[in-house]
Amino acid sequence: MKNKVTIGIIGGTGGMGQFFKRLFEQNNCKVLIASRSTELSVEDCVSQSDVVVITVPIKSTVDVIKKIGPLVKEESLLIDLTSIKIAPVEAMLNHSKCEVIGTHPVFGPGVGSIKGQSIVLCPARGKKWLPWLKDLLDKNGAKIKVATPEKHDKMMAVIQGLVHFSTITVSHALKEMEIDIKDSLDYASPIYKLRLDMLGRILNQDPELYADIEILNPEVKNAIKAYLDSSEKLLKTIVKKDREGFINYFKESADYLGDFKKEAEKESDYLIEKMVKK
């Protein structure tokens, strides 16, 4: 391994590209940036780099991989930073001869540092570069999870796809009911305010990104179907005024969470206390 690794970030003028530019530079790496707005061409960036990082919109990732994959040197490493892994990893394997690690930073570029943030690695080819990448992330305090692309996409269908789906639909339901948000806050419990904060946080982001997360991960539709089936079951108990059925449904859900319920209550109590003291 070279003393100073050269990183080429394709699409590096965006928020995530700039985040990783700072991270790599802080760890004694030379960083090159190439995008449609840079003087440095993508081809020259790739030819000069030991590690090539692709950080472009999800919908464009596979096309970019097909274009640059054949240009990456066999002894180099190719990484993507998208929220889905099966299609990008397959494309990187098929259109390059280098080492391949699918990578997903499970956070946005607005975080202050990578310390404490989760990042999923999907090693797909080669063994030389994985220890280097894991060491760099570990010494900067990242929480590293190694998984297959299939396991990653299934988990993200829940962690992102299902959660974002329910968030967006709750907000849309409030719109359909013509609920005045500011007025509702005068009646709000801390839990409602906390949930509303999460609605606002998600819906203050780029809708194109969330469209890609929902639509391009093939596992999302299965997660949403399970959610809608469970919602329909609970709705029927409410419509029938089936109190016992509701309680059983509640208990089944509670039992599934197990000891995590106590941890969740403790953490949410902390958040609520902070909110109330503001």
> Residue 65 pLDDT > 70, yes or no?
yes
Cα-Cα-Cα-Cα dihedral sign, residues 158, 202, 82, 23: negative
Report CA dihedral (153, 136, 12, 55) to the nearest 10 degrees: -10
Residue 278: the pLDDT is 67
Instruction: For 92-101, write each residue's pLDDT tens digit.
Output: 999 999 999 9
The residue ranges of every structural domain in the chain are: 6-147, 151-277
Q: Which of 118, 132, 108 is closest to 18 using CA atoms?
A: 108
- Which residue bears the tokens 């609520």? 272
Residue 12: the pLDDT is 81
The strand pair at 99-105 and 118-125 is best described as: antiparallel
> Residue 24 pLDDT > 80, yes or no?
yes
Cross-sheet strand order for the sheet of 143-146? 30-34, 6-10, 51-54, 77-80, 99-105, 118-125, 143-146
Residue range 117-126: average pLDDT? 97
Q: Other C-beta atoms within 10 Å of 50: how many?
A: 21
Instruction: For 79-112, write each residue's pLDDT tens digit.
Output: 999 999 999 999 999 999 999 999 999 998 889 8
pTM (2 d.p.): 0.90
Instruction: For 147-164, write each residue's pLDDT tens digit.
Output: 999 999 999 999 999 999
Residue 112: the pLDDT is 87
* Percent of the chain clearing pLDDT 90 (strictly above): 90
CATH code linked to domain 6-147: 3.40.50.720
Task: Give the separation between CA 21 and CA 29, rounded to whole angstroms.
Answer: 9
Confidence band (pLDDT; 50, 70, 90) for 14? confident
> Residue 1 pLDDT > 70, yes or no?
no
Element (H, E) at 25: helix 15-26
Residue 277: the pLDDT is 75
Task: Give the separation between CA 59 and CA 63, rounded to whole angstroms.
Answer: 8
DSSP structural state of residue 107? S
Task: Give the separation between CA 17 and CA 5, rounded to whole angstroms.
Answer: 17
Instruction: For 209-261, write each residue's pLDDT tens digit.
Output: 999 999 999 999 999 999 999 999 999 999 999 999 999 999 999 999 999 99
Residue 99: the pLDDT is 98
Residue 116: the pLDDT is 96
Cα-Cα-Cα-Cα dihedral sign, residues 101, 111, 212, 231: positive
Residue 2: the pLDDT is 64
Please tell me the number of Cα atoms within 13 Å of 22 on its side-chain side: 13
Q: What residues are paired with 122 via a beta bridge?
A: 102
